[in-house]
Amino acid sequence: MVILLLVLLPIFILIQNVVGIKRFDLNITIDQINPDCSKYNGHILLANHQLPGPTIQVEEGERVQITVRNFLPPTQPSNVTGAGSNDITVHFHGIRQYGSSYADGVPFLTQRPIPPGAEFTHDFRVVNQEGTFFYHAHVGLSEQTLFGPFIIHPSKKHHQVLSEKYPEHIISLSEWWHASRTSFEEYILGPEFEFIPEAQSVLINGRTLYNTDHPLLPSQNTSPQNEADKGCLGYTVFEVDRGKTYRLRVIGASTFRTLGFAIAHHNLTIIEVDGESVKPYSVSFLEVAPGQRLSVLLHAVQPPQDYTIATDRRWAEDVSRSSNGMAVLRYKTNHKSNDNDNMPVLQLPPNRPEFPLLDATHWIWSNLKPLYGVDPIVIRPSSRTIKLRATDFKLPTGETRWAINDVAYMEPEEPILLDILQNKRRRPPLSASALNNGYDPYLATYPLYHYEIVDFVLQSTHIPGEPCRSHPWHTHGHSHWEIAHGSGEYNEIKHGHLRNIPYPIQKDVTLVYPHIDSQDETVNGSLATGFVGCGWSKIRILADNPGIWAMHCHNAPHMLMGMMVALEEAPELINGYLPLDS
Domains of the chain: 21-342 (2.60.40.420), 373-576 (2.60.40.420)
Residue 282: pLDDT above 80?
yes
pLDDT digit string, tens, across residues 438-494: 999 999 999 999 999 999 999 999 998 888 999 999 999 999 999 999 999 999 999
The C-alpha atoms of residue 502 and residue 68 are separated, in whole angstroms, by 42
Which of 447, 540, 455, 451 is closest to 492 using CA atoms?
455
Pairing of β 453-462 and β 384-394? parallel
Q: Answer yes or no: are the C-beta atoms of 309 and 250 closer than 8 Å.
A: no
Residue 523: pLDDT above 60?
yes
pLDDT band at 115 (very low <50, low <70, confident <90, very high): very high
The reported pLDDT for the residue numbered 477 is: 97
**Cβ within 8 Å of residue 294, ≥6 positions away:** 132, 250, 270, 272, 273, 286, 288
Q: For the chain, what is the largest distance between any 2 Cα atoms, rounded to a whole number of angstroms?
A: 95
Residue 82: pLDDT above 70?
no
Residue 526: pLDDT above 90?
no
429: exposed, middle or buried (Cβ count in 10 Å: 0-12, 13-18, 19+): middle
Report DSSP state, residue 194: -
Mean pLDDT of 407-416: 93
Which of 248, 247, 256 is closest to 200 using CA atoms?
256
The C-alpha atoms of residue 471 and residue 458 are separated, in whole angstroms, by 9
Cis peptide leading into 514, omega within 30 of 0?
no
Mean pLDDT of 227-251: 87
pTM to 2 decimal places: 0.92
pLDDT digit string, tens, across residues 89-102: 999 999 999 999 99
Question: What dihedral do alpha carbons 73, 76, 77, 81 form, nearest 10°?
Answer: -50
The reported pLDDT for the residue numbered 530 is: 84
pLDDT digit string, tens, across residues 141-191: 999 999 999 999 998 765 554 445 899 999 999 999 999 999 999 999 999
**199-203, 333-337, 560-564: the lowest-pLDDT one:** 333-337
The reported pLDDT for the residue numbered 155 is: 87
pLDDT band at 392 (very low <50, low <70, confident <90, very high): very high
pLDDT digit string, tens, across residues 181-213: 999 999 999 999 999 999 999 999 999 999 876
The reported pLDDT for the residue numbered 524 is: 61
The reported pLDDT for the residue numbered 341 is: 65
Mean pLDDT of 273-279: 97
In angstroms, the Cα distances linking 5 to 1, 14, 17 are: 6, 14, 18
The reported pLDDT for the residue numbered 84 is: 76
Q: Where are the beta strands (DSSP E) in 48-196?
A: 56-59, 63-70, 90-93, 119-125, 131-137, 147-153, 168-176
